[in-house]
Amino acid sequence: MKISHLFEAYRILVISADQAFMRMQKTHSGLIHCKRHCSDCCHAIFGLFLIEAAHLQSHFDKLDRKKRREALLRAEKADLSLHRLEKTLEEKSRGIAGEADLLARERIRCPLLNEHDDCILYPYRPITCRVYGIPTAIHGKARVCKKSGFKKGESYPAFDLNKIYGELYFLSKKMLQGAGKRNLDGAALMISVSKALTTPLMDLINETFSEPDIPHGKFVLTV
């Protein structure tokens, strides 16, 4: 399966996210406090679409053995924490809104963050990481890094995650089609970074789901 052309389309989305961050940095420089070794975003829980997971995995596989081994050990710890959180969500049955709030508050260290608080795949980090320090909006709700200087109640331009997620969903669907899959529900699946690092790509593509129909816009985190 050739996915190089899909990776090219993905990198265009990455560039658009970087440009949005730079525009905000230019107009609101005093409010963005992102700097090296500030790892607040590296402890937030988020998922990767299949196209992102494949792209991240392709570059992870190029790292030297020592870095990969250390990251995989961190991924095991992250998986344990994610499974505990998943169990908590199941027990409390909070519903979609409650789950989103709990996920936003939970802190789990990304396996790509090394002992020096550096991302070992920083040039290839996901789009979510690239826009974390600026205001973002999804499903009509705005979010911003708590360490930034953006104030609650004031108006700022926000990066539209709904639009970018729609594009990532489309590329993930094309990826499944290219692999000969007839069931395209996996395009809506959001994969944890730890799972993206530890699971062979074809296993991610052949992932099975408890729900037969996942409509566009309903993104489900899998650990």
- Residue 20's identity, in one-letter code, is A
Q: Above 70 in pLDDT, residue 206? A: yes
Angle between helices 161-178 and 50-60 (to 10 degrees): 70
Q: What is the pLDDT of residue 94?
A: 53
Question: How far is the C-alpha of 169 from the C-alpha of 13, rounded, in Å?
Answer: 12
Q: Decide which of 69 and 99 is more confident.
A: 69
Q: What is the domain range of residue 190?
A: 4-222
Segment 133-190, tens digit of pLDDT: 999 998 888 888 888 999 888 889 999 999 999 999 999 999 999 999 999 999 999 9
pLDDT-based confidence at residue 209 (cuts at 50, 70, 90): very low
Residue 217 has pLDDT above 80, yes or no: no
Angle at 142 between CA 138 and CA 144, to 5 degrees: 115
For the entire predicted model, the pTM comes to 0.86
| DSSP string across the chain | ---HHHHHHHHHHHHHHHHHHHHHHHHSGGG----TT--GGGGS---B-HHHHHHHHHHHTTS-HHHHHHHHHHHHHHHHHHHHHHHHHHHHT-HHHHHHHHHHH-----TTB-TTS-BTTGGG--HHHHTTTS-EEETTEEE--TTS-PPTTS----EEHHHHHHHHHHHHHHHHHHTT-S--GGGGEEE-HHHHHHS-HHHHHT---SSS---TT--EEE-
What pLDDT, on the 0 to 100 scale, is given for residue 213?
A: 35
Dump pLDDT digits (tens) for 27-81: 998 999 898 888 888 998 889 999 999 999 999 999 999 999 999 999 999 999 9
Question: CA 160, CA 198: separation in Å to the nearest integer?
Answer: 30
Q: What pLDDT score does 214 carry?
A: 32
For residue 118, what pLDDT band results from cuts at 50, 70 and 90?
very high
pLDDT of residue 92: 66
- Report the domain count for the chain: 1
